[in-house]
Amino acid sequence: MIRGKALERIQADIYEKYPNLHAFTNEEGLIEVAGVFPVYGIDREVLDCYTVSITLPENFPKKLPIVYEVGGRIPRKPDYHINPDGSACVFLPDDRWRCFPIDASFIDYLNGPLHNFFLSQTYYAVKKQWPFGEWKHGVGGLYEYYQWLIRTDDKVTVARFLHLLRKNNLKKHYDCPCGSGKVVKKCCVEIIKDLRSKITPEVAAKAMNNLGFDNFPPPYKRSRLRDNYCRKI
């Protein structure tokens, strides 16, 4: 019943702006949206169109939609932000807090990140550059992202911050991950609180694993930084 209401809501949302998209329940019992997706310019005129298939996972919106461009317009290559399975890497999942907050609706997803993804593809096809910039595809982009988010170029500092972010509780007596030598409560406590509002422990733990930081010795022994940690990374 809940899924039926969700399907009705999506059908109503896309009816006017996306008349060439159709929402239905697929053979797996999941909501799927398929058809022609328009890309708009500044003057709201249609610049381009892509044939798409969008599947909403069981636990949407906690888990992101799975998007395929099925018209053969986009090369199946990482440089075009296409995953190995052919699905679109619409945005870096770790950047969800900025691109598609957990409380946003499916129509917000279409209007925001999905539209920007296809607009970027159209622009790149002509200009050979991405209009909104880009993170590298894969692990390189993930590392670039956390360098930007934490405001550091230092690999050790990124690892230390992620180590704290993946914990369910913030211990303010820990050494600050910035490397100042002070404890958290006397240094970057507000910065860490802000980061924790954006990056959940689950996301941070996954990033640690994907970046290979789980193979390093833990940056803290009880509440103190290990002096030899920097040398081992």
Residues 85 and 108 in one domain: yes
Task: Say which residue the tokens 């550059």 belong to.
Answer: 129
On the question of pLDDT at 232 being above 80, the answer is no
| 171 lies in the same domain as 108 | no
Does some domain include residue 26? yes
How many other C-beta atoms are found inside a 10 Å radius of the C-beta of residue 158? 23
Structural domains of the chain, count: 2
Task: Please determine, for residue 143, whether its predicted confidence score (pLDDT) is greater than 50.
Answer: yes
pLDDT digits (tens, 9 = 90+) for 161-193: 999 999 998 888 888 999 898 999 999 999 999
Strand duo 224-225 + 31-40: pairing: unpaired
Q: Residue 223: inside a domain, yes or no?
A: yes
Whose tokens are 């399975």? That residue is 85
The per-residue pLDDT for range 198-223, each reduced to its tens digit, is 999 999 999 999 999 876 655 554 44
Residues 80 and 101 in one domain: yes
3-state helix, strand, coil in the chain (%, to 5): 45, 15, 40
Mean pLDDT across the stretch 66-72? 98
**CA 76 – CA 180 distance, rounded (Å):** 45
Q: Provide the domain limits for residue 36.
A: 2-127
Kindly tell me the burial class for residue 212, based on how many C-beta atoms sit within 10 Å of its own C-beta (0-12, 13-18, 19 or more). Answer: exposed
